[in-house]
Amino acid sequence: MTTKAAGHAITGALQEEFRRRLAAARSEIHARVATTDDELATLEAHQAGNPPEDVTTEIASALLSRLEGREKHELDEIDAAQARLAASTYGACEGCYGAIPLERLRAVPTTRHCVTCQRHEERKGESLAGG
Ligand SMILES: [Zn+2]
């Protein structure tokens, strides 16, 4: 197999696999905020992109406001990953546009960067002084 330029082939069965992984990650967060089955059902019914006047959107955002900053961030990352999956840009590194290895995607389905670029980003965060 020759993988030439960028453009990861996250399609077909793989796309389905990651769709499920992201959905599972989202459900996990939902389960953390929901205190009743009804609340959980509302969160599960709610889809990002529903019109704001949609009743599930309203209830869901009230429930999701219970999330801590870290979990909120996690959910945002899942949203973003699901959007990338829908737009077929999932699995491409946002730094170098290279393909993110599948094993990395499986370990961290919401990741935006390959390992190299991730290190870069982390280092950038550490040493913003001078440049
Ligand atoms: Zn990269």
pLDDT in tens, the chain (131 residues): 444 444 567 989 999 999 999 999 999 999 999 999 999 999 988 876 677 778 888 888 899 999 989 999 999 999 999 999 999 999 999 999 999 999 999 999 999 999 999 999 999 888 665 44
Q: How many angstroms is it from 118 CA to the middle of ligand 1?
A: 7
CA distances (Å), origin 115, targets 83, 104, 118, 122, 123: 21, 8, 5, 10, 12
Tokens 């019914």 sit on residue: 45
* Ligand 1 geometric centre to CA of 71 (Å): 25
What is the whole-number distance in angstroms between the Cα of residue 99 and the centre of ligand 1? Answer: 8
Distance, CA 77 to ligand 1 centroid (Å)?
17
- Please tell me the distance between residue 128's alpha carbon and the centre of ligand 1 in angstroms: 20
Please report the pLDDT score of residue 108 as a whole number. Answer: 95
pLDDT for 57 equals 86
CA of 21 from ligand 1 middle (Å) equals 22
pLDDT at residue 1 in the model: 46
CA of 112 to the centre of ligand 1 (A): 9
Exposure pattern of 42-68 as b/e (b: 16+ CB <10 Å)? bbbebeeeeeeeeeebebbeebbeebe
Residue 60 alpha carbon to ligand 1 centre in Å: 34
103 CA distance to ligand 1 middle (Å): 15
State the pLDDT at residue 95: 94
